[in-house]
Amino acid sequence: MIAASDEFGPGWFERGFPHIWLPYAQMQTAPAPSAVAATAGVRIRLSSGRELIDGIASWWTACHGYNHPHIVQAIRAQAAVMPHVMFGGLVHEPALTLARRLSDLTLGAGSRVFFSDSGSVAVEVALKMAVQYWINRGVGGRRKFVGFRGGYHGDTMATMAVGDTAEGMHRLFAGYLPEHFVIDLPRDAQSLREFEGFLTAHRGDIAGVIIEPMVQGAGGMKFHDAEILAGIFAASRRHGLLCIADEIFTGFGRTGSMFACRAAEVAPDIMCVSKALTGGAMGLAATIASNEVFAAFQSDDPMKALMHGPTYMANALACAAANASLDLFERGPVIERARAMQAKLAAGLAPCRSIPGVADVRAMGAIGVVQLEASRGIDWLRSRFAANGLWIRPFGDVVYLTPALTIEDADLNALTAGINTVLAEWSKR
């Protein structure tokens, strides 16, 4: 089981908690967070000694489960040689090997990888690249992006502006953000034609289209078909726009293919990855640009260079972790397991359909979603799941599972059964 580790000294929670500011939390009313002592596989061990089965994989990062020995060993080995070195004027093997592997796995020949340390920054870099692509080519006016309602691309100012500013968690900032075109995601042939009409009307203003392929994650776990994605890409191409695929949620097997773009056979001009890139061990992100995008930055003019460089870009520990995670995808049937999980999630969650207050159940790859009719009792649900030994964090009007791709059937069954039980109680409240 999980090894104990209590070297923190007594009272660390009581003494430290008054100094911490937590994410997405009303600090005055939010229930106190649980103190974690250790993780292993799909288990989170609390300081109290209780264990939770993890249904979220720490915001879907820990795709091979926590503390995978191959990843831990890679970080250890890298730490012994060089935890970090600046990436300006210097490079190192873990970063160049990872760039080659990511390039091969995503946009292919001639593509280039720009590293950063979080998903939001990877998207910022993608937006900056797209705007500068047009400037470098001497095309004026193309400064706006098309994003989609229900989309989520990060928490920083530029990424909030291409997400759902009308209804999403960032609506408070609507008036402060640059205005882009955030429109309904096409759902059928008719709305695809309307989308194309929209592009025709505004093409001179638009630098590119940004989309989470196949699944809008943190904005509500909403799925769309491969044909819709292909239609959006085709229309954008016809108007000469850059297609930016934000695969930060979908990348690395989550939807049942290594990348969601691959399932729909679309080739973005720029792709963003992060989250599961290091198997959940370290913060790392990459913005991958096609050969054509990169070519627009090739010049004898220094002003045409990409003016960006996060201090910790291509951190060697994180690159080593990411290379180790990619090894695991190569060595075992991880993707196959993710694909096979779809039927298990669908079957395990199907009985929820008959619970009053549940609108829908859906699954894609290793994503299982119970759609509620309305957001109600979210804090109650969270605490009931924890009381049942499960780590499940519903938000808005969805209860979802994004477990490690390697989770055993017994643990997956415990998660889906727990959702059935707790939602049945919830419906009677």
Determine, following the binding rule CB under 6 A, whether residue 152 of this chain makes contact with ligand PLP: yes
Please tell me what DSSP assigns to residue 160: H
Determine, following the binding rule CB under 6 A, whether residue 315 of this chain makes contact with ligand PLP: no
Q: Is residue 54 within 8 Å of 407, Cβ to Cβ?
A: no
Cβ contacts of residue 311 below 8 Å, gap of 6+?
86
Judged by CB under 6 A, how many residues of this single chain contact ligand PLP?
A: 15
Min. distance of Cβ 258 from ligand PLP in angstroms?
16
x/- string (CB under 6 A) for ligand PLP, residues 233-252?
Answer: -------------x-xx---
Cβ nearer to ligand PLP, comparing 112 with 275:
275
Two tokens at 224? Answer: 């769309």
x/- string (CB under 6 A) for ligand PLP, residues 42-71?
Answer: ------------------------------
Half-sphere exposure of 102 (CA within 13 A, CB side): 35
Angle ∠(397,400,405) on CA atoms, nearest 5: 160
Question: Which amino acid is present at 418?
Answer: G
Q: What share of the chain is helix, strand, coil (3-state, %, to 5)?
A: 40, 15, 40
Min. distance of Cβ 382 from ligand PLP in angstroms?
19
Identify the residue among 103, 111, 116, 120 touching ligand PLP (CB under 6 A). 120
Q: What is the spatial distance between Cα 113 and Cα 170, in angstroms, rounded to a whole number?
A: 29
Computed over its alpha carbons, how large is the radius of gyration of the chain?
A: 22
Q: Is residue 243 within 8 Å of 236, Cβ to Cβ?
A: yes
Min. distance of Cβ 400 from ligand PLP in angstroms?
12
Min. distance of Cβ 246 from ligand PLP in angstroms?
5
Task: Please give the positions annotated as active site.
Answer: 24, 152, 246, 275
Which of these ranges, 96-104, 113-121, 328-336, 412-420, lies near ligand PLP under the rule CB under 6 A? 113-121
Interface residues for ligand PLP in 370-429 (CB under 6 A)?
none
Residues that bind ligand PLP (CB under 6 A): 118-120, 123, 152-154, 212, 217-218, 246, 248-249, 274-275
